[in-house]
Structure 1
């Protein structure tokens, strides 16, 4: 009995095997002004306030994240806005805090999603030394990327992103590509694939469709959407395999569709840590998310 109680107590205090919190240390601040970005407008939520994460919040986040995990891998994830606007000292302090609070048996993996425009050799050396996994946002060849990914002055960013990517490759930083599918590149899927594989040297990429909100009455019936999504996945996989293209992650909609069938209002959410320490559940609604599947036919055509 005593052994049973001890084992139960140990399980109760060990914490979950894993969970994910994505930190946005600069909130919505970004040095770019991508036309499709939904998050830039969030700057207006903090008028007159500096959105950078404070030292106290920074320490509390790392400490609580590690305390809340059991043994095994702990992912420390940074997104934005543009997280490199925090500067390297913030990330150096992150490493110090991880070393201070990580327990034996925990392995910390740092991930960073960036537009790549601020990366230089100092960043490259740091990211390589501490084994960061970096996601870099690039939407394809120059003319496709620059269609929407522009800076605050409306100037193209392709050259700057490619210079940042060169930094990652030169310092052998592990990286993958995050590519949005939008009106400019949706009909050029194979060109985007081969650019990422051959010109960039990507070995893994993610694709996220950019969609507009639409009225519910314009949506297809639920079962038709389920069938279309399954066919989209089959055709995308077949196209990738036939062309010898790189691995990818498409849009995971199974949970969404299950919630649709249950007539759920709030379909899914992602846990984010805002710069001021607030926990935000980034939720999507049916009108937005179902439009993703409506674009399946266009994406399927681009891979034909």
Structure 2
């Protein structure tokens, strides 16, 4: 016979509802579907709490960290600034990446204002695509009335927003690199002076050419300078070369003299033979 304890085991257990936490600033709980809406908060949380930059993490790793972020958010354990909202246009470039740009230390106030304005425009465009129904309600005259349309953006809208943000950031980096190169060029010109162009460059070239011609004339008529050891035959290597040349010349003369002597001897022998040979008189008889 089943006991009362067995009946209690078979009775389905209902999970106790989680206690709702009052979040600071009247913020609402979030879910994993709010990934893009809370992307700026996630980026700042990773940097301050985990010491990581979101640009160095893979997509899967970022999603995993966001699940942890959702839990901490819903428990009300974050700083009040997260619940108040993070303005991405006010973030510094150093908060978004570990790379240190050389131009950040030379940035003027006007440059900083221009960059913040560009980030604000990017953030506004991204938020408008993330919340099209809210943007329509604000544009039509405030928060009154029930908002119509889908509450979540489409995949194409999110892709377009991300691509737009990436393009704007890349354009910003190109502008800063160009400005950095211009400043480096200005520093070089301050040290060595500006580079001459046009007529000034031609005049400088002529002046350099005249200086070279003057130095050439001062060296001598032929422009070829030799030291005394070269002209007078100084140096061991030069003497050895002269000795080898003279020896070769003597060998050549000896060979030529030997050939001439042999020719003379053969000619003398032939003349002696001609002297002792009998002479025959050839008589030609003519017949009438």
- Give the structure with the larger strand fraction: 1
Confirm or deny a common fold (TM above 0.5).
no
Q: Which is bigger in relative contact order (C-alpha 8 A, separation at least 6)?
A: 1
Tell me which interval the TM-score lies in, with the shorter structure as reference length.
Answer: under 0.3
Point out the structure with max Rg over C-alpha.
Answer: 2
- Give the structure with the larger helix fraction: 2
